[in-house]
């Protein structure tokens, strides 16, 4: 079940993840939607990586913040499991004021590196001092993933 929590009550690790997602949002390139998204992912090796959405004129080649964060973590640390991902989204000049959960495309991408762990945390910033927290198991039930192909990603 989704829980609401004060950012200051999160673990230091999760506060850091939220801060990095907020920072990444500042770098987004969404000239078409004007919807700025930032994400930060925590790898099971302790590595953290940031991502933001990057829109392109053909729309199809748009990169989502969650995917950029995970791909960047892999680029730095190799294929690795993830423990948590923080996401924040809002129009350019607005403070985040509502939960922005990963889209269907990104839920599949997140699941790919969860290594079968349905308890991987997903945090979304809902105000300047609050987040909502869920898990990939809640957001992406009956997932299709590498396990369906008999493949294990990462270590």
Catalytic residues: 66
Query: Is 50 or 64 the residue whose CB approaches Zn ion more closely?
Result: 64
- Our finding on whether 155 is near Zn ion (CB under 5 A) is no
- CB 102 within 8 Å of CB 89: no
Touching Zn ion, residues 79-118 (CB under 5 A)? 103, 105-106
Query: Is 19 or 105 the residue whose CB approaches Zn ion more closely?
Result: 105
Binding track, positions 5-44, relative to Zn ion; x by CB under 5 A: ----------------------------------------
Touching Zn ion, residues 40-79 (CB under 5 A)? 64
Least Å from the CB of residue 69 to Zn ion: 11
């Amino acid at each position: 079940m989704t829980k609401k929590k004060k950012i200051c009550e999160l673990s230091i690790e999760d506060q850091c993840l939220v801060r990095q997602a907020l920072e990444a949002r500042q770098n987004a390139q969404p000239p078409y939607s004007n919807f700025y998204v930032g994400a930060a992912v925590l790898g099971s090796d302790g590595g953290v990586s940031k991502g933001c959405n990057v829109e392109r004129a053909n729309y199809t080649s748009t990169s989502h913040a969650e995917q950029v964060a995970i791909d960047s973590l892999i680029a730095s640390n190799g294929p690795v499991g993830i423990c948590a991902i923080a996401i924040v989204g809002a129009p350019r000049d607005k403070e985040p004021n509502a939960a922005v959960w990963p889209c269907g495309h990104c839920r599949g991408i997140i699941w790919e590196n969860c290594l079968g762990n349905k308890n991987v945390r997903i945090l979304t910033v809902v105000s300047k001092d609050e987040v909502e927290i869920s898990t990939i198991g809640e957001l992406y039930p009956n997932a299709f993933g590498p396990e369906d192909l008999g493949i294990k990603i990462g270590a």
